[in-house]
Structure formats: C-alpha cells, structure tokens
Amino acid sequence: MKILKNIIVEGTHQKPIVTDVFYKPTNQPKKVVIFCHGYKGFKDWGPWNLLAEKFANAGFFFIKFNFSHNGGTAEQPIDFPDLEAFGNNNYTKELDDLKSVIDWISNAINFRDEANINDISIVGHSRGGGIVLLKANEDARVKKVITLASVCDFGKRSSTIGDLENWQKNGVKYVVNGRTHQKMPHFIQFYNDYKLNENRLNIPNAVKNLKIPQLIIHGNKDDAVFISEGENLKKWNPAAQFSVIENANHVFNASHPWEKETLSKELEEVVHLCVDFIKK
C-alpha cells in the first residue's frame, strides 16, 4: 500500500491544508473517497489511519486532511498548537478547504493513473458531516455523500448560539478541550460569518435538494449528536439510506490515542456500510 503523509495542499486562506493519501498502486484509476474530520478533530485522530487503510484495501483512493484552521500546523498536524487559527476557523473556510482538496486531486497529474476524478465520494464525521452535505449540494463533482454521526443544523449548534451579548462584547468565547485541557477560542468572526452566509450554510435545504446517493450512519448511543439529528437528515431526504450502529457512541467506540491494531467492532461496521454504498 502507498501511504503519503502530510502533503501540503494550498488553500485560499493563507494556511496549508495538510493532507494524506492512501491507495494500492495498480495503475488503474480508483474511486476517490475524501474524509472530513469534525469539530476539535484532526486527520490523525484515534484510528483514522486504520480507517484509511481499510478503504485503500477495499480498492479506493482515500484522502483525509486537516482543515486549514483546525488548530494544527504543517509541522505539528496532531492536536492544536495554533489556537489563533482555531479561533479564526468557520464553516465557510471549511467549505473552501474541501473545495481546494477536490480541486487538488482533480488536477494532480501524478495521481492520474490511480485516482478516478470522475467518481468522488465525500465522507464527514460530526461537524464534518454538515460540511460534506453542503458541499455535495453545491459541487457537481461529488457523486456520493456519507455522514457519520453528523449534525443536521449549524444554526442550532452551541458555536452559533449561547451568550451572544457577552461574545459580541468580548470578541471571543472559550471552550475547554477535555482531553488536552486547552482553552480553545472562538472569535466572534465565527458567528458573524455564519449570519452572513446563513442561506449557504442551511443543511436542511441542502439535504432536501440533494440529487445524489446519500448514506446516513449514526450510533444509537451517541450522546454528543443525538440520533434524532440523523433521523432529521433521513426525513429531509427520504431516498437516503439510514443505518443505525447499535451501541455506538459519537466516535463509534473509538478514542484518542488508539493503540490497537484493529478498529472497534462499530467502526468495522461503518467501513463495511461505506464500502458497500460507494461500490454499489
């Protein structure tokens, strides 16, 4: 298997999009799968590298990346050394970053024999699920879309509501990262950007408008994004496939760091569902 780590993709927001690719070299163009991490996430979280290998072994050209303002850097793509960038992240930047990755693979001459750029599927976890749903609705290059434990509405997230008066007065609010214990900033630009782009960032409308195959995967023990959000996505697009993973939490019973050499049983099920759906 060919694994290329920490490729720098130039985005449109003055910070690199640090990207990995996984594939089995066959000189035959393979379906492309692009994976988007969620809030406070990163491409090397937990078992995401194992997940990538599973997709590559199943015959796909698999790409995962850090959003340019996720808080990682090119030198340190794991965790959050750049909290200033984290505080300046927003949904439209993430949509732009995903477009940059799709542009990059679509024009990458050195992968032309391995990546079928006419067959791109995008997969998003949690907040990344909202991003892929919006992108699938606005970019015709996307042929299939999959969400894992996805949010269904950015307008109802704590990142866009809460104590707005204090947020506007102080210009920043903080979220404590339970794992790294960092106080992670959200600058008021996040809210302002959301309000400015509210129509574009409307997930319900995007899902109702989808014309491509959609797979919704959610755990029934998810206490971060309740399964009702997955049920809403299905309600807005009755043609979508909705699969519930029994006893799975928000990260499908994985954690960071992940020292095991195999995926959790629940993530194995996720991969199986995704592979079947994309190959169909």
Query: Residue 216 and residue 210: Cα distance in Å, rounded?
Result: 13
How is the chain split into domains, by residue range? 2-155+199-279
Task: Give tens-digit pLDDT for 7-53.
Answer: 999 999 999 999 999 999 999 999 999 999 999 999 999 999 999 99
In the chain, the percentage of residues whose pLDDT exceeds 70 is 98
* pLDDT for residue 161: 64
Does 159 have pLDDT greater than 90? no
The top-level CATH class assigned to 2-155+199-279 is alpha beta
Q: What is the pTM of this model?
A: 0.98
Interval 132-152 mean pLDDT: 98
* Dihedral sign (CA 139, 141, 142, 144): positive
Does 160 have pLDDT greater than 80? no
Query: Residue 175 and residue 181: Cα distance in Å, rounded?
Result: 10
Interval 163-177 mean pLDDT: 93
pLDDT category at 156 given cuts 50, 70, 90 is confident
Arithmetic mean of pLDDT over the chain: 97
Task: Give tens-digit pLDDT for 243-280.
Answer: 999 999 999 999 999 999 999 999 999 999 999 999 99
Task: Give tens-digit pLDDT for 182-212.
Answer: 999 999 999 999 999 999 999 999 999 999 9
* pLDDT for residue 157: 79
Q: What is the number of residues in the chain?
A: 280
pLDDT category at 158 given cuts 50, 70, 90 is low
User: CA end-to-end span of the chain, whole Å?
Assistant: 24
Are the beta carbons of 81 and 73 closer than 8 angstroms? yes
Query: Residue 142 and residue 167: Cα distance in Å, rounded?
Result: 36
Nearest to 143 by CA among 116, 166, 170, 164: 116
